[in-house]
A = this chain, B = another copy of it.
Amino acid sequence: MTRVLVVDDEPQILRGLRTNLVARGYVVDTAPDGEAALDLAARRHPDVVIVDLGLPGIDGVEVIRGLRTWTAVPIIVLSAREQEAEKVDALDAGADDYVTKPFGMGELLARVRASERRAIATDDEEAVVRTAAFTVDLAAKKVIGADETAVRLTPTEWHLVEILVRHPGKLVSQRQLLQEVWGPRYEEETNYLRVYMAQIRRKLEPEPARPRYFITEPGMGYRFEPSG
């Protein structure tokens, strides 16, 4: 699953890109301005960022600089401007690629693929969350139990754990979890969550009957408590 963050102030472009990317199996976040982009990037850790240069508020180049202070995520720049100085500025600020509007969707998708391909080679972010009972390695998609042996999680189990662990201490609503893992049409199937949270607890909690890390907030959702 590849997560793409699209930053553009024109709603129709945002919509078009989202539609095309989702159709290709990407998970898409969108932001209409620089502030939202930096915020979303920090929270969702996208695998690729597509950013328009002409943004209200923070300039696109500033967004690139902001991202580059803490992440090496591939950045593809969109721009209506042909001026060479613009391109040089964006690339030197840390962008990986530069596409001039109007652009073909096929080309953009190919450039996204090229970015992904490179990212496999470079991606070594330290994304490890430790508790007394287990260790979650988000980059390697691996969970190590208390006895140092790997814990096998199924894709669905892993997906849930990943969402919860990426938001330590925060309450994640049932709807959010269902929508993210099973899709928007499953928002009512709360029994799925019950079944899978039980399985996750059986595999990770020291006392599955008395959860310390994966806490139920009745009527609301679930929460991952790193300190147990």
Instruction: Check if A169 sits within 8 Å of B142, measured CB to CB.
Output: yes
Copies of this chain, tallied across the complex: 2
Closest B residue, CB atoms, query A141: B171
Out of B107, B118, B142, B163, name the residue touching A118 (CB < 8 Å): B118
Q: A28: CB under 8 A from chain B?
A: no
Q: A180: CB under 8 A from chain B?
A: yes
Residues 100-122 of chain A, each 1 if its beta carbon lies under 8 Å from chain B, else 0: 00001011011101101110111
CA–CA, A154 and B98, complex, Å: 37
Residues 167-209 of chain A, each 1 if its beta carbon lies under 8 Å from chain B, else 0: 1011111011001100010010000000000000000000000
CA–CA, A137 and B87, complex, Å: 37
Out of B140, B171, B184, name the residue touching A140 (CB < 8 Å): B171
Residues 127-149 of chain A, each 1 if its beta carbon lies under 8 Å from chain B, else 0: 00000000001011110000000
Q: How far is the CB of A184 from chain B (nearest CB, A)?
A: 5
Q: A92: CB under 8 A from chain B?
A: yes
Q: A155: CB under 8 A from chain B?
A: yes
Knowing A141-B217, A219-B154 touch, does A106 contact B120 (C-beta < 8 A)? Answer: no
What residues of B have a CB within 8 angstroms of the CB of A9 in the complex? Answer: none
Instruction: Check if A155 sits within 8 Å of B122, measured CB to CB.
Output: no
Closest B residue, CB atoms, query A176: B120
Instruction: Check if B91 sits within 8 Å of A113, measured CB to CB.
Output: yes
Instruction: Check if A116 sits within 8 Å of B84, measured CB to CB.
Output: no
CA–CA, A40 and B141, complex, Å: 40
Instruction: Pull 22 A–B residue pairs with CB atoms less than 8 Å apart, ordered by A.
Output: A2-B175, A25-B175, A25-B187, A84-B107, A87-B106, A87-B110, A91-B110, A91-B114, A92-B113, A96-B118, A98-B111, A113-B179, A118-B122, A120-B167, A120-B172, A120-B176, A121-B122, A140-B171, A141-B171, A142-B171, A154-B218, A158-B220
